[in-house]
Amino acid sequence: MLTERCPEAARIVLVGFMGSGKTTVGRRLADRLGRPVHDSDTVLEQRAGRTIGEIFAQDGEPAFRDLEHRVVADLLDGPAPFVLSLGGGAAMHPGTRRLLADRALVVHLRVGLATALERVGADPRRPMLARPDLPRLHADRAAAHDTVADVVVDVDGTGVETVADTLVALLDALPSRTTTPRTENA
């Protein structure tokens, strides 16, 4: 059984840039594994009673990041197993990265900037798209997500179902943590 071989796989967390397909792949993966799925953006908006666009506009990005960190920490502390899709900047928070390293199996859905922009276009839920330094932001995020990830899947040119199938196969092939602990791979 997956969680016996790899206890961290009780909490599968999808990270990646906006438009990488985290929400859609997360739903499908959770379906395939028979688990609930959470989306940090949705939980955050419900908790705040405001949209992400409103929070950015009224309180600014640092306040949004604090809220986002608390939402992710609470989800990681909640009942497992689950699949969790994170907002595209959530894993840039050092505290969130520490929690992910300790408690989750992290999957980076790696997407090129061109594909990401084709998919998301202009979206009020994604104020970060208005950043003038988007290529730099994309490169920095990709590097950070690669670092925090246990598994990296390149999603350009690949449909959501295929990505979810690839992940199921990768999870099936995961070696036991008792023989290859994370520290040996670091």
- Residues in the site for ligand S3P, rule: CB under 6 A? 18, 22, 41, 52, 87-89, 125-128
**Residue 161: which residues within 8 A CB-CB, separation 6 or more?**
28
Residue closer to ligand S3P by CB (options 6, 24) is 24
Closest separation in Å from C-beta 65 to ligand S3P: 8
Closest separation in Å from C-beta 89 to ligand S3P: 3
Closest separation in Å from C-beta 24 to ligand S3P: 10
Residue 107 identity (one-letter amino acid): V
Residue closer to ligand S3P by CB (options 89, 106) is 89
Closest separation in Å from C-beta 174 to ligand S3P: 25
Q: Are 89 and 65 in contact (CB under 8 A)?
A: yes
Closest separation in Å from C-beta 88 to ligand S3P: 3
Determine the Cα–Cα distance for residues 9 and 171; give it in Å rounded to an integer.
Answer: 8
Residue closer to ligand S3P by CB (options 37, 128) is 128
Strand 82-85 and strand 105-110: pairing? unpaired
Determine the Cα–Cα distance for residues 22 and 109; give it in Å rounded to an integer.
Answer: 7
- When CB distances to ligand S3P are compared, the closest residue is 87
154: enclosing H helix or E strand = strand 151-154
Tokens 């598994």 sit at which residue? 151
Q: Are 31 and 102 in contact (CB under 8 A)?
A: no
Residue closer to ligand S3P by CB (options 6, 87) is 87
